[in-house]
A = this chain, B = another copy of it.
Amino acid sequence: MGHHGAVTRRWNGWGDESIVAKVPREALAHLERLVGAGRPTPDARLGDVLETVPAGRLPGHPLVSADPEDRVRHARGQSLGDWIALRSGQIGRVPDAVARPTSADEVRAVLDYARSAGARVVPYGGGTTVVGGLAPAELDAPRGAHPPVLVVSLERLADLRTLDETSGLATFGAGVTGPALEAALRAHRRMLGHEPQSWEFSTLGGWVVTRSSGQRSLGFGRMEALFAGGRLEAPAGRLDLPTSPASATGPDLRQLVLGSEGRLGILAEATVRTVTIPEYERVVAIFIPDWEHGMTAVRHLADARLPLAMVRLSTPSETRTTLALAGRRRRVGLAMRWVGRRGAGDDPCLLLLGLAGRTRVAEATAGEAARIVRKQRGVPAPGAFARAWEANRYHGPYLRNALWDAGYAVDTLETAIDWTRAPALAAALVQALDAGLESENERVHAFAHLSHVYSSGTSIYVSYLFRQSPRPEGTHRRWLALKTAASRTIVEHGGTISHQHGIGRDHQPYLALEKGELGMAALRDVVATFDPDGLMDPGVLLGDTR
């Protein structure tokens, strides 16, 4: 994918600096009609920000850097709150140093160093968290009143350690990114198939500790299924998780590390279950005339337990916005009239189905899926629609850069819920966001898709866009108002506060509603067992501030 070499990451936005997304003129016109003309705000310059960074407060160590740019580049993730801070240059406290261990033993040495220096530790994979997973509570406190913060980056712990080709078990340093991991496996005709939108930069360790889900998790499995075991270096000691294919030996400790978000220690190595690259891989696109028929179709696909690799259904609104952002208005218009005449109407939903496996089984699956979809008035789309999605799988976050430059803030959020309550929650979420800035007389454009379906329910993924305020505090206030309205809507409808992004600090206030008092107590006790002195990521996940 060309991301293994010397990529310079944007310090205050998404991705590779050399990739500059463009928003087509007609898309800007579309957005202007929806929420008004964007009013771009000026970005802070990195040089100016670096001048404000105070000296780090940690002693020297061969594995540790106190370089101000290093520290600024590891201060924040990709939550919209992080973006507003970075773009405006008002990034608050920065960590005191960045460590880069190259082995599990060096991870342990770095933990010992942090403890003896009285520092708090923030593990850092790809820095792609969109839920505030990287800013520990300590960074909020006034300087002097808080202990020093050491970020531990896993970027040098990123190699393929062992590959057992008979069992398909591959052990990597936890800092390996998506492209590097798949390239290492492809050399052996194997693959993992974990492809979140952050894939280019997010890491295996990050996927595990946030319970990540990839675009084709229906076929290849969520991280819970792919993570076979590994080595966690905790302040209290080492936890080696064996890689049994399955086990009935009491509660599964892997499931404590999955979702631990840095609180139990640092996952240094992870073993994943890989598979032989399937002989057949394909995405097909279908248009369905309305949302109700679309949801029924995908629910029936899930209940039939067809071996699909992906099911992804956009609302008519998201379909329109996606097509506008894709540009090529004339060609898209012609194609849409073509599918419209075949029965998809003039405001359809886009449905994408992924297939992966043996050719014969995949073709039978496609046939059965087509039969189910046809009953809901689905119309096959020209191949260009599926190809466009495949070509742009990881492009969404780059558009966020371009839209920001045009004066628009973009954020996404997600949940999962049973099928019975899904339609009401999806509608309520879009409505809550659309109306979320009425008190400021600002409009919001929210749109949704279902990207992960299960027999009992579905994820709901919502994107929303609004105009930046002239001042960063104003933009931050708008974001908080929208995020709070959406989170409350999710909770009130009985959805989970996150299907795939995690808790971090942004979702922390809603966690106890799902876990219950006894569950929260158990999680706190487990954290105390692994990290008795409270070194790890205070505030993240549990909201405790020791």
User: A residues near B, CB below 8 A?
Assistant: 164, 166-169, 210-213, 219, 222, 224, 228, 234, 236-240, 242-253, 255-261, 273-276, 278, 299, 303-307, 357-358, 360-361, 363-365, 367-368, 416-420, 452, 454-459, 494-503, 507, 511, 514-519, 521-523, 525-526, 528-530, 541-542
Contact = CB atoms under 8 A, between A and B. Distances in A.
A519 B239 contact: yes
Contacts of A518: 234, 236-239, 529-530
A472 to B, nearest CB: 29
A496 B249 contact: yes
Contacts of A502: 248-250
Given A255-B251, A255-B252, A361-B368, A275 B455 contact: yes
A167 B420 contact: yes
Nearest to A252: B255
Contacts of A515: 249-250, 253
Contact of A498 (B249, B363, B521): B249
A260 B256 CA distance: 14
Contact of A166 (B212, B234, B420): B420
A164 B247 CA distance: 30
A245 B418 contact: yes
B529 A244 contact: no
Nearest to A422: B167
3 closest A-B pairs by beta carbon, nearest first, are: A255-B255, A245-B457, A364-B364
A420 B164 contact: yes
Given A360-B368, A361-B368, A456-B273, A213 B249 contact: no
Given A253-B522, A360-B367, A361-B307, A452 B239 contact: no
Contacts of A245: 416-418, 452, 454-459
A457 B367 contact: no
A361 to B, nearest CB: 5
Most chain B CB inside 10 Å of its own CB: which residue of A418, A496, A521:
A418
